Amino acid sequence: MAVSLAPDEHLFDLLGCMEVAHTDLPGAVAVRIHLPRNDVGCIVRLPRRLQQVERSGDALTVEIDRLPGRCQLAVADGEGRILLARPARAGDNALDLGELDVPGRPACVKLLADGALVDVTELPAG
């Protein structure tokens, strides 16, 4: 599948909870994703606001480029359930996975504005 992708955008598989690799084409990018028979995928194109996510054990540092107003930074599981949410600010943000509000297995970091998804990225292995 070919899609247009601006330099500050990226593709993310919401159901697989992972970045989607792509190959550059003239004026677009080619996307390949393997789906088992009778399975579905949900790929979104998002502005890259979460610039860098680093993990050391339970400590997360998330660098946010710019915010579209008041936002929350959230850690979610593979089902999208929010496990930990804190107010977000431009620049470096620190989160402690040892302080999960809801028990679960963290899988991704989301940037939310009034509950709407602004950006999301995979949670690095600890």
Q: Please check whether residues 25 and 81 belong to one and the same domain.
A: no
Share of the chain above pLDDT 70, in %: 100
Radius of gyration of the chain (CA): 15
* Of residues 33 and 55, more confidently modeled: 55
Residues 60 and 91 in one domain: yes
> Total structural domains in the chain?
2
**Predicted TM-score (pTM) of this structure:** 0.90
Q: Based on the domain organization, do 66 and 38 belong to the same domain? A: no
CATH of residue 95: 2.60.40
Same domain? 13 vs 41: yes
Residue 32's pLDDT is what?
81
pLDDT at 126 over 80: no
Rounded to an integer, the average pLDDT of 3-15 is 92
Residues 27 and 81 in one domain: no
Average pLDDT over residues 107-117: 96
pLDDT tens digits for range 25-39: 888 888 887 778 888
Q: 10 Å Cβ neighbour count for 23?
A: 10
Whether 42 and 93 map to the same domain: the answer is no
For residues 36 and 61, membership in a common domain is answered with: no
Range of the domain at 60: 49-122
